[in-house]
Structure 1
Amino acid sequence: MFVGPITLFAIYIIIWWLVLFTILPLGMNQGAQERPTDGSDWGAPARTNLKKKFITTTWVAAIVWLILVLVIQFQLIPLPDIPSTRT
């Protein structure tokens, strides 16, 4: 089963977003935090580390994507054949 490059890219983007939302809460600690006086949200973290989380998300998503592509390529999980609508 051949999967086109646009489909592969779309699958990667979906996996990237799923991995991002699983990685975002990691490392957040609200332990001994003082009450904010500048009007910011009480639950907002002091340091978000978004750059590190985006980099981690990218390589974790790439690994998950590669595993999924290999599973599809070697047909380790049988997928139904979808008839083509091309004429």
Structure 2
Amino acid sequence: MTVTFSIAVYFMIWWIILFAILPFGRVRSQEEAGAVVPGSEASAPERPRFLRVIILTTIVATAIFGGFYLLRTSGFSLDDIPFLKPPSAR
């Protein structure tokens, strides 16, 4: 597995996990907090906590990529799964 391929796969995993993690946690809107900043939308978050989301995304994506890397380098393939083989090949 080349470095370029690894970086591309990690980036895709990170991006997907980012959108999976974004909805978690309680985020109050500026309207709920009662302090709408002039020029911003009332539904904008009061405190978005982007650093927490980015750190959590990086931890989860790294764990998933580690599993992908181990599976990819172990030599395991779909041919190793018995119930996926056609009956004549068993």
Which of the two has greater helix per residue? 2
Q: 1:54 to 1:77 in 2, by over 3 A?
A: same
Q: Give the TM-score taking structure 2 as reference length.
A: 0.70
- 1:6 match: 4
Q: Is the 8 A contact 2:17 2:61 kept in 1?
A: yes
Q: Partners in 2 of 1:35 and 1:69 — Cα distance?
A: 47
Q: Partners in 2 of 1:4 and 1:65 — Cα distance?
A: 14
- 1:19 match: 17
Q: Partners in 2 of 1:45 and 1:75 — Cα distance?
A: 46
- Structural RMSD (CA): 2.3
1:58 maps to a residue whose letter is T
Q: Give the TM-score taking structure 1 as reference length.
A: 0.72
- 1:83 match: none
Number of aligned residues: 77
Q: Is the 8 A contact 1:28 1:45 kept in 2?
A: no
Q: 1:42 to 1:76 in 2, by over 3 A?
A: farther
For 1:19-58, what aligned pairs fall within 5 Å after superposition? 19-30=17-28, 33=32, 34=34, 36=36, 38-58=38-58
Instruction: Note the alpha carbon deviations across 1:31-87, whole angstroms, 9 max, x for none.
Output: 8804736232132111110011111111110000001111111233438xxxxxxxx
What's the offset of the Cα at 1:12?
0.4
What's the offset of the Cα at 1:16?
0.7
| Rg comparison, structure with higher value | 2
